[in-house]
Amino acid sequence: MNLLRALVLNARIRNATIGIIVLLVLSVVPVFKAPPPHVELAAEALLEHGPKWFTNGLLTTLLVDLIIILMAVFAVSRMKEIPGAWQNIVEMMVEGMWNLTQSIAGHGSANSRKFFPWVITIFIFVLISNYIGLLPGFGSIGIYHSAAESHAQAELGNQLAMVGAEAVAVAAAAEEGKPVLVPLFRSPSADLNMTLALALISVFMTQFFGVQALGMRYFTKYFKNPFKDGMGAVVGFFELIAEISKIISFSFRLFGNIFAGEVVLLVMAFLVTFLLPSIFYGLELFIGFIQALVFMLLTLAFFTMATVSHDDHH
């Protein structure tokens, strides 16, 4: 009873309730109905007859580069002892990352200075890549290609669209003969080339820093004389496998989170056009930040671990 009275009497609650109801009703009106989700696992070539390498993922990567560099230039170009608002924000971020790096790699250590550019660049690049995919227009603005060309990819996309029979049916119907929309932009994090590249860089630099710190002794982590230390040789073999599987876990963790997030947003927009996607946008903002932080922290932790000799511990 109280709730009902509040609904009627409190103007703000009443207006909000009316707004929610109107939006939900509008969501089922066919005019406002969102198109079935267009799910593409791979980044697509933008030009139908152009080079295959010119994908929407690549274009967006360049856009991300541009945004990051512009943000840096705006913060640093008129750098002052007493910072302006933007300079302050950027300084806060750089200092936060610097302190985080130091807290893991050692305060004021040479390692901290060596690792810092790698991990902060990973963080910034991944964060902006994750967030740029949430901008309106991503996935909705694009170029129409003839259907036949991307049919094979569309098939895979359909397999991935796990939103129930209805959605798949609609999507499948849409694919038949109709031209396919290739989005102009695609979040670089939802492009396996980018996540795999970062994973390769992370794992390769881990080995590099390890060798730099310990010399050839570093590889005794993986290869031990099986006649002297049989158990150690087995463990070393597993270490080697774990190291290689890091490439996969790094790349697919980031790709999976961001790609799945975008699919979830599309599906939610398809099911209920209004309101429901907003909730998931908040979730995606959170996930985007967490994934950037996770990638950065794991890389930093692996770098630091690689520079520590294992023989000293045992």
Partner 1 sequence: MDALDKLGISWQLLLSQIINFGLLMVILQQLLYKPVLNMLEQRRQRIAEGLEQADKASNAAAEAEAEKQTILEEARREAQEVRAQATRDAERIAQDVRSRTDQEAQEIRMKAQADAEAQTAAVMADARKQIADLAIAATEQILGRELANRDEQERFVADYLAQQNGSGS
Measured in whole angstroms, how far is the alpha carbon of residue 191 from the centre of its chain? 9
Closer residue to partner 1 (CB): 44 or 284: 44
> Which range touches partner 1 (CB under 8 A), out of 27-35, 49-57, 167-175, 281-289?
49-57
Closer residue to partner 1 (CB): 118 or 209: 118
Residues 196-255 that bind partner 1 (CB under 8 A): 196-198, 200-201
Q: Could you give the angle at which helices 276-306 and 85-105 cross, rounded to 10 degrees?
A: 50
Q: Give the residue, chosen from 12, 49, 52, 313, that forms a contact with partner 1 under the rule CB under 8 A.
A: 52
CB of 302 to partner 1, least distance (A): 17
Question: Where would I find the H helices in the chain?
Answer: 2-9, 11-27, 56-76, 85-105, 110-132, 151-160, 165-175, 192-214, 230-271, 276-306
Q: Residue 117, interface with partner 1 (CB under 8 A)?
A: yes
Tokens standing for residue 53: 């390498």
Measured in whole angstroms, how far is the alpha carbon of residue 92 from the centre of its chain? 23
**C-alpha span between 247 and 201 (Å, rounded):** 9
Q: Residue 191, interface with partner 1 (CB under 8 A)?
A: yes
Q: Report the chain's C-alpha Rg in angstroms.
A: 25
**C-alpha span between 153 and 165 (Å, rounded):** 20
Applying CB under 8 A, the site for partner 1 has a residue count of: 45
Measured at the alpha carbon of residue 295, what is the angle toward residues 290 and 299, in degrees to the nearest 5? 145
Q: What's at 74, amino acid-wise?
A: F
Q: Give the residue, chosen from 60, 61, 130, 304, that forms a contact with partner 1 under the rule CB under 8 A.
A: 61
Q: Residue 125, interface with partner 1 (CB under 8 A)?
A: yes
Closer residue to partner 1 (CB): 55 or 187: 55
Q: Residue 292, interface with partner 1 (CB under 8 A)?
A: no
Residues 256-275 that bind partner 1 (CB under 8 A): none
Among 277, 110, 103, 258, CA closest to 187: 258
Q: Residue 121, interface with partner 1 (CB under 8 A)?
A: yes
Closer residue to partner 1 (CB): 139 or 188: 188
Binding site for partner 1 (CB under 8 A): 41-44, 52-53, 55, 57-58, 61-62, 65, 68-69, 72-73, 75-76, 79, 81, 90-91, 94-95, 98, 116-118, 120-121, 124-125, 152-153, 156, 188, 191-194, 196-198, 200-201
